[in-house]
Structure 1
Amino acid sequence: MRFQLLGPLSIAHGPETVVLKPSKPTSLLAALLLHPGTVVSTGYLLRAVWDEEPPATARAALQTCVLRLRRLFAKYGISATTIEAVPGGYRMRNDTETLDLALFRFLTAQARAAAGTPEELYRLREALSLWQGQPLSNVASGMLQRDAVPALEQERLLVLERVCDLELAAGNCHQVLVDLYEGARHRPVRERFTEQLVEALYRTGRQAEALAEYRTVRERLRDELGVDPGPGLRRLELAILRAEELGPAARPPGPEPTQPHAASALAVRDRGRAAAGPAGPPPVPGFAGRAADLRALAGRLTDPGGPRLLVVSGAPGIGKSALARQSAYEIRAAFPGGVSAVDLTRPDGSPLDTGEARALLPAPGGGGRRLLLLDNAAGAGQVLPLLPETGGATVLVTSRRALAAVVATHGGFVHRLDVLSPAEAQDLLAGLVGAERIAAEEPAARELAAVCGWFPLALRIAAGRLLTRPGLSVADCAAWLAADPPGRLALAEDPRLSVPEVLGRAVGALPPELRGAFLLLGSLEPGSGPATAVEESVLEQLVEAGMLEDGPPGEPYRIHAFLRGYARWLARDRAGAAALLPG
């Protein structure tokens, strides 16, 4: 169970999210959640619920609101003592496990501690992913809308500005354009967003658009406020008009992620100095194992006579993106022209269309051999139109599909990824949770890895549960997950860390015939050949979709035990499966 403030006020209960209706109890709950773990005075609560003119009976009505909330909590299995009556007011003891606002602030604190390292950007991105829209949009309290909502939005904007500064410093100008357009359009008086947007457009060769953005905000500031843009924007305009080359964006100072107004370096490069290539994706936090896979990718990608196209394919959640990004980071020195990464999916998991993907591709450069990672490709139809736009770069693609149509027409190599070995799974858990904690319960850790099917996605979710529950033993965690692995391997705050979400989208994208075949395969006993129950043409399509594997001679096909368990989990509740898998 989790309370969610960073969007409509809601209660996430298992796979369900209940958005509360605007009411006085909803306003009361919002006022309490905004101050987790602290006593909120009765006077403050009265003003939050009734604004500035509470009725004479307000104190008694406040107790009624508390009673109504406790009844609502009981409906979702939340203890009535979650709201404590204390002298002078009420208190709710929420933490990172039960309140998204608490988790957001915890992640930004982690980012401050990791300032100057790749971990900082990773944590800030993780924090921003918790936001689901306008905070408290269903809360009717005028006081909270006037005072609390702008303060919450300010916290988000400071983090977003910091993220954009870090991305610009890393050379990832294309990746932040969507965020910067949104910030500059909706908050023109917040000049830093416009400054970042103008800089990003100019660095990607779109100087006319950069000047147009500057002049739009200049006219708006003059018309609405009677002021000119600040010195940072004016320096940028002058650099563009002079056609000056901007030096590499300086990494913004730390440790505070709330220091986004430090201007990017605008020093002009010395004539003749070679352009610095993009920094590329950072190392994957907690990455472990895959030594043979890393060697294979490095050997093919860095070989001057090797393929210019390489596809990493495999089942959903098996770690394709992590392997590709770690490999790109480790071999970045072999690509003096730069390493770039483009995610071909939106945050909700839906694929980008061709126009959106093209807009994110880096401009071709002349600084030497380049590597381009196209991550999370939905299929050949998404990749083929992009290849002519890559400017001769070596292209690394990750996809559940093997993309046979791509390698058949453009050449290349397909690297099929399998689950981690038991030892690698142990190493991943140790790297994420802590070596001492895993070593202290080594047999339980092996059991936990087995429950997770040695799938990196499932292992990271289990590690997240252990990290947020320091008192939870590895053995208890393994036992709890073993009772319902597909259903319980989910972190409510992020659909990308949810087995039902990730695998549900993968199965839901299959045509009905393949979907039915996948559910049928789940009903087979381990060791029985899929070919005895399903036609070979259907099995081949399931292999291409990443839901089935080619096996050794004598057993042409096999299904991962973890995917078999997920298929059984779906098949147990046909109504639930029908709702999850549309079409």
Structure 2
Amino acid sequence: MRFEVLGPLSITDGMESVVLPPSKPTNLLAALLLNANGVVSAEYLQRAIWGEEQPAAAKAALQTCVLRLRRLFVKHGVVDTPIEAVPGGYRISAGPRSLDVIGFRDGVRHAARLAHTPELELRALKDALALWHGSLLANVRSEVLHRDEAPRLVEERLRTVQRVCDLELSLGRCGEALVALWSETRAHPGNERFHEQLIEALYRSGRQSEALTEYRRVKGYLLAELGVDPSPGLRRLELAILRGDDLGPSADGVRAVAAIGTADVRRSPAEDRGDPPLPVVPVPPVPSFTGRAAETAAMEAELTEARDEAVTILLSGAPGIGKSALAHHVAHRVRDRFPGGRLHVPMVHPDGRPRDATEAAAAVETALRVREPGAPVLLVLDDVVDAGQVRPLLPAVSGGAVIITSRRGLAGLVATHGGRVHRLSTLEEEDAHRLLVATIGAERVKPEEAAARRLAALCGYFPLALRIIAARLLTRPALGLADAAGWLADDPLARLSLADDPGLSVIRVLDAALDRLAPRLADAFVGVGSLPAAAFPAQDGVSALGTGAAEAEELLERLVDAGFLEEGPPGPYRVHELLRAYARRAAAAGGPRPETTERA
């Protein structure tokens, strides 16, 4: 029997295939197969099956689900791929004959060993792609798997299709390449490499006007949807077509062929753990960005005035304070200074675990490899957890720049590598008001000016909270601002969330931030955050923590570094109002959750 995950999850005996119905056991099986031959933790399986809202007795429910899946195996005659209970979770063992995704990856590796014979390599890659069938995991109703696992598989397929097209172009088979490229460019409009291959195939086929039309189409899309210019490769190709140049052998195809046997086919440590690959993508635009005029001006000057040396800028501050938005906004404003591109590099996994520094460095190196040599590049390293993640990446941007966003102060990095530091606080009242006007429209705010200002105050002037309430208002056009403010005032923390996106919730964001702290530090924040005043002297912090002065000072300083407190000696410490409300809520609920582990 063979499992198939490169399409609807199914079981086949080679003659007939059974597509499993959407169910909890189907979610469980998909999670195990996508991490075959490795231990999958019980906690991850529970999230894959039930999502973030798990049953009260999730461990017992998981055991029941495993039992149901084993019965399903018996029903379909699956005897050589058992589910094993191991310390910490479960494991399913599989090979290329029993699981199509392993067969696909083995086929790609086999093709890499045939790079010296393009015909044989092309045939091997097409055989590997033939294992894909239909919509990926169409019958698996798990948001966690579609968010964390499916993108990795899609990326592997896209890389393989790109290699196939490069080989076909290098062999002069432009017509065959066009068949795949028409559909791939429409399915993945932001993938510039597919567009480059399509334009090249059209031009090599004698269809110059169509090639130029396609270039103008993708250029318009990139500017309108992503706010970026076409890649240097696309621009060079357009110029060659306008000149009527003979492209000669497909240089890009040759380079891609040579690269197949190197980094692209090796699995990183993160992939071996079942983590999705690190996405390094163009910096996304920020809709309706408002405020931060002083910080924006200072960062623009810092990035544009230094011409001969790399620039490092650190943006720190509390969770939800708008660090990423400011970094992306500034990156787009200085686009002319960085013709090599502006790249966004997320430094944590979706569950909050820090990315491995080696993996991040390899992903950045791969992304830079396709950029124009010598052209300055701007990297946005988003949500950095510690200085160790950053140091391996700094040499990669010689002559370019890095913007680091982090809740941490990263003073050690600043001490050893220098850089400019901007610590963000909440928005000014007028900027917060302007953000609401920009997002929901002046025509809606003007009749209820006072209510809009009350909404901004209830959001604590936090950009994340303001974006959430604005999204709620936009999707409820008949809802009055005064009514929304009255509703929000009853429980701002709980109601600053969006039903269709659990990640856009103030409580969830702060929960995740608290999870990064050591238990002692999380308890300290709840203690000082529950003090009667938002600003308090160090001595009040000592009293609230019930420790000696030296230990209390250490805890308070670490909370400042982690973004949960502001300022400190010789002046008072301060807690942002939204964080203070969260601390009071945590205190009423009995303090931080017991599973909190140290990450900061």
Whether TM-score is above 0.5 comes out as yes
Aligned residues between the structures: 392
Question: Equivalent residue for 1:529?
Answer: 537
| Corresponding position of 1:430 | 437
Cα 1:180/1:498, change in 2 over 3 Å: closer
CA contact (8 A) 2:310 2:398 kept: no
User: Distance in 2 between the 1:449 and 1:570 partners?
Assistant: 23
Q: Does the alignment pair 1:568 with 2:580?
A: no
| Bigger mean CA offset, 565-574 vs 488-497 | 488-497
- Per-residue CA deviation, residues 284-331 of structure 1 (Å, 9 max, x unaligned), is 101111111101111112122687111011000000000010011011
Q: Please point out which of 399, 415, 424 is paired with 2:406.
A: 399
Instruction: Output aligned runs, 1:167-246, within 5 Å.
Output: 182-183=153-154, 194-196=160-162, 231=179, 236=197
Deviation at 1:193? 7.2
**Cα separation, 1, equivalents of 2:528 and 2:382:** 29
Q: In structure 1, what is the Cα distance between the partners aligned to 2:464 and 2:512?
A: 14
Quote the Cα distance in structure 2 between the aligned partners of 1:338 and 1:253: 15
Correspondence for 1:413 among 404, 420, 430: 420
User: Residue 298 in 1 paired to residue 305 in 2?
Assistant: no
Q: Does the Cα contact within 8 Å between 1:338 and 1:371 map onto a contact in 2?
A: yes
Deviation at 1:574, TM superposition (A): 1.8
After TM superposition, the score normalised by the length of structure 1 is 0.57
2:537 alignment partner AA: G
> Aligned in 2, Cα 1:252/1:337: closer, same or farther, shift over 3 Å?
closer
**In 2, Cα distance between the equivalents of 1:461 and 1:481?**
12
Residue in structure 1 matched with residue 593 of structure 2 by the alignment: 578
Distance in 2 of aligned mates of 1:439 and 1:301: 37
Q: Is the 8 A contact 1:300 1:307 kept in 2?
A: no
Equivalent-residue separation in structure 2 for 1:279 and 1:13 (angstroms): 30
The residue that corresponds to 1:101 in the other structure is none
Distance, in Å, in 2 between the alignment partners of 1:485 and 1:582 is 27
Equivalent positions of 1:149-164 (< 5 A) are none
| Shift, 1:272, TM fit | 14
Report the AA paired with residue 529 of structure 1. P
**1:511 pairs with 2:537:** no
Aligned residue for 1:287?
A: 289
Partner in structure 2 of residue 243 of structure 1: none
Contact 1:517 1:538 in 2 (8 A): yes
Q: 1:543 to 1:330 in 2, by over 3 A?
A: same
Rounded to whole Å, the distance in 2 between the matches of 1:18 and 1:196 is: 43
Distance 1:435-1:409 versus aligned 2 partners, 3 A rule: same
3-state DSSP of counterpart to 1:470 = coil
The change in CA–CA distance for 1:452 and 1:194 in structure 2 (over 3 A counts) is same
Does structure 2 retain, via aligned residues, the 8 Å contact 1:312–1:398? yes
Distance in 1 of aligned mates of 2:281 and 2:336: 10
* Aligned residue identity for 2:434: D
**Distance change >3 Å, CA 279–CA 350, structure 1 → 2:** closer
Which 5+ residue runs of structure 2 have no aligned equivalent?
Answer: 1-21, 29-46, 62-135, 182-193, 202-210, 225-233, 248-279, 546-551
What are the superposed Cα offsets for residues 162-197 of structure 1, whole Å, 9 maximum, x if unpaired? xxxxxxxxxxxxxxxx977622656xxxxx775457
Of residues 336, 347, 350, the one that matches 1:347 is 350
CA distance in 2, matches of 1:503, 1:134: 32
Distance 1:493 1:565 in 2: 24
Compared with structure 1, are the counterparts of its residues 237 and 428 closer, same or farther at alpha carbon in structure 2 (3 Å cutoff)? Answer: closer
Letter paired with 1:328: A
Deviations 1:197-231 (A, max 9, x none): 768xxxxxxxxxx659999xx9xxxxxxxx97655
From 564, 571, 577, give the equivalent of 1:554: 571
1:522-551 residue CA offsets vs partner (Å, 9 max, x unmatched): 210114335443511111111111111115
- Of residues 447, 453, 461, the one that matches 1:440 is 447
Alpha-carbon spacing, 1:476–1:549, altered in 2? closer, same or farther (3 Å): same
Aligned-residue RMSD, C-alpha: 4.8
1:380 aligns with one of 348, 362, 387 = 387
Distance in 1 between residues matched to 2:199 and 2:574, nearest whole Å: 63
CA contact (8 A) 2:387 2:412 kept: yes
Q: How far does residue 358 in structure 1 lie from its aligned partner after superposition?
A: 2.0
8 A Cα contact 2:315 2:323, kept in partner: yes
Q: What SS does the aligned partner of 1:578 have?
A: coil
Provide closer, same or farther for how the CA distance between residues 249 and 552 of structure 1 changes in structure 2, counting only shifts above 3 A: farther
Shift, 1:353, TM fit: 1.5
Which residue is equivalent to 2:456?
449
Report the 3-state secondary structure (helix = DSSP H, G, I; strand = E; otherwise coil) of the residue aligned with 1:502: helix
Alpha-carbon distance between aligned partners in 2 of 1:231 and 1:571, rounded to the nearest angstrom: 61
Structure 2 distance, partners of 1:506, 1:415, is 20
Judged with a 3 Å threshold, the aligned counterparts in structure 2 of structure 1 residues 445 and 525 are, in CA distance, closer, same or farther, namely same
Three-state SS of the structure 1 residue aligned to 2:314 is strand
Q: Which residue of 2 aligns with 1:65?
A: none
* Identical counterparts, % of pairs: 43
Q: By how many angstroms is 1:370 displaced?
A: 2.7
Q: Secondary structure at the match of 1:16?
A: coil
Quick one: distance in 2 between partners of 1:403 and 1:538? 16
Task: Return the letter of the residue paired with 2:456.
Answer: A
- Counterpart among 518, 535, 559 of residue 542 in structure 1: 559
Question: What is the alpha-carbon distance in structure 2 between the residues aligned to residue 335 and residue 341 of structure 1?
Answer: 14
Amino acid at match of 1:288: T
**Pair 430,388 (structure 1): closer, same or farther in 2 beyond 3 Å:** same
**Structure 1 residue 14: deviation in Å?**
13
Correspondence for 2:53 among 16, 20, 45 = 16
CA contact (8 A) 1:198 1:211 kept: yes
- Contact 1:5-1:135 at 8 Å conserved across structures: no
Q: Secondary structure at the match of 2:578?
A: helix
Q: Which SS does the other structure have where 1:311 is aligned? A: strand
The answer to whether the 8 A contact 2:385-2:406 is kept is yes
- One-letter amino acid of the structure 2 residue matched with residue 452 of structure 1: C
Q: How far apart are residue 513 of structure 1 and its match?
A: 1.5
CA distance in 1, matches of 2:524, 2:169: 53
Q: Does 1:335 align with 2:338?
A: yes
The residue type paired with residue 578 of structure 1 is R
Distance 1:367 1:471, change over 3 A: same
> Paired residue for 2:397, among 379, 390, 400?
390
Matched, 1:470 2:477: yes
> How far apart in 1 are the matches of 2:561 and 2:469?
28
Q: 1:474 to 1:369 in 2, by over 3 A?
A: same
Change (3 A) 1:138 1:421: closer
- CA 1:197/1:323 → structure 2, altered by over 3 Å: closer, same or farther? farther
Mapped partners of 1:180, 1:389: distance in 2: 26
State the 1:468 CA deviation.
1.5
Give me the whole-angstrom Cα distance separating, in 1, the residues matched to 2:302 and 2:580. 33
User: In 2, distance between residues paired with 1:341 and 1:549?
Assistant: 27
Task: Measure how far apart 1:501 and its partner are.
Answer: 1.6
Deviation at 1:388, TM superposition (A): 2.3
Given that 2:347 and 2:382 are in contact with CA atoms closer than 8 Å, whether structure 1 keeps it comes out as yes
> In the aligned structure 1, how far is the partner of 2:325 from the partner of 2:353?
19
